[in-house]
Amino acid sequence: MTDDAPPPVDQHARVVVIGAGQAGLSVGYHLRRLGLTPGSDLVLLDRAPGTGGAWQFRWEALRLGAAHRVHDLPGMNAMGLRFDDADRSRPARDVVGEYYRRFEQHYDLRVRRPVSVSSVSRIDGTEELCVATTNADGGTARIAAEVVVNASGTWGTPFVPWYPGRDVFRGRQVDTTEYRSAKEFAGQDVVVVGGGTSAIGFLLELDGVGARTRWFTRRPMVWSESASLDLESAVAAVDEQDRAARAGETLPSIVSGTGVPVSRRIRAGLDRGVLRESPMFARLDETGVVTADGEHVHADAVIWATGFRADLRHLAPLHLRTAAGGIVVEDGRSVDEPRLFLAGYGPRASTIGANRAGRRIARQVMDVLIGP
């Protein structure tokens, strides 16, 4: 081997799926049904220690039905499993983790975990992509694949915006991924930032536990009096995600386009005055935040429930990022790298779209493998 030759690969696979959350498992299920063999033809990788995708990391108090609905995976009903029938007294992370574990075992998907993907790159002189991985004990491997399906989601890349004074605030600052329990903030003044379902959940859980809470959002909240997602708004939000993906732009949040359905729990919070947002503050100081009109709001802690960005760092060697911050994706496929598909991205980022896209992406992948 010459000095400039690439290191050898450890395995050849037809398809590598990165991520075993909802989108990754959906694609894996359909590829298996289309004839690929898990473990050899089809390799599913997941960086998390257990099953359940991002749900396994959610806070203990979160229950099913308190956030966006978790849709059944394809093939789950044939197993006699439905999230609508799940025990809502148990933590959502436990329920989702258990159902996904049973799903993986039933369909013998052979997900490898915990395995993190450090990079995806082109292999010169071939029609393959190289997926570089690291396992829990530090061992590394390189898998050559004819097609890569990226389903890495967003949980690994929380977005915390910069505001003046963030580095001088002496209290505690946590993002959504770091929140564990309201008990950690007992008796404290807490500022919650963000206009999504996580921020709402934190405020409701902190009510009666923290001393005082104050809620700040970048834009006024839009409440939907329907307890479920309005179809017209959902379609419009998905269309906007699709437009952004095709333009290679940073993706907007689904909630910003649909509003938040008012469940009975949220209605009670609105009626009690717990869910009353204020315009975004201007800056932080050592002991709290300062609003645009000069009011000082004391805070022992600030919770940044400000959303996530698609986790695409490992795709950097492919040089697909546009100046607008995204990847140009049409119908789940990278325009600039046709061997790469993105599941759970753009219009497929929500639980509404991920399952529907799984079958379509799997069929497109098979078209690539079979060829013209």
Q: What is the CATH number of the domain that holds 207?
A: 3.50.50.60
Q: Are residues 201 and 120 in the same domain?
A: no
The CA–CA distances, whole Å, from 154 to 19, 90, 195 equal: 11, 24, 17
Report pLDDT for 317: 97
The domain boundary residue, chosen from 304, 336, 357: 304
Place of tokens 């970048």: 218
Report pLDDT for 326: 84
Report pLDDT for 235: 44
Residue 243 located in a structural domain: no
Residue 41 located in a structural domain: yes
Q: Are residues 107 and 200 in the same domain?
A: no
Q: Are residues 15 and 151 in the same domain?
A: yes
Q: Are residues 99 and 149 in the same domain?
A: yes
Place of tokens 């959504």: 176
**18, 45 Cβ separation under 8 angstroms:** yes
Q: Are residues 275 and 326 in the same domain?
A: no
Residue 241 located in a structural domain: no
The domain boundary residue, chosen from 304, 321, 355: 304
Q: Are residues 92 and 132 in the same domain?
A: yes
Tens digits of per-residue pLDDT, 324-339?
778 999 889 999 999 9
The CA–CA distances, whole Å, from 206 to 176, 203, 213 equal: 14, 5, 8
Report pLDDT for 322: 87
Q: How many domains does the chain have?
A: 2
Residue 1 located in a structural domain: no
Domain range holding 277?
A: 172-225+262-304
Residue 296 located in a structural domain: yes
Report pLDDT for 354: 58
Report pLDDT for 22: 93
Low-confidence ranges of the chain (pLDDT < 50): 1-2, 227, 229-236, 257, 348-350
Q: Are residues 315 and 364 in the same domain?
A: yes
Report pLDDT for 331: 87
Q: Are residues 271 and 284 in the same domain?
A: yes
Q: Are residues 149 and 285 in the same domain?
A: no
For the CA atoms of 286, 291, 294, 299, the dihedral, rounded to the nearest 10 degrees, stands at -30
Rounded CA gap, 253 and 241, in Å? Answer: 8
pTM of this structure: 0.86
Q: Are residues 149 and 52 in the same domain?
A: yes
Q: Are residues 299 and 313 in the same domain?
A: no
Residue 147 located in a structural domain: yes
Q: Which two tokens stand for residue 195?
A: 């206009």
Q: Are residues 143 and 92 in the same domain?
A: yes
Residue 29 located in a structural domain: yes
Residue 238 located in a structural domain: no
Residue 217: closest CA among 231, 235, 198: 198
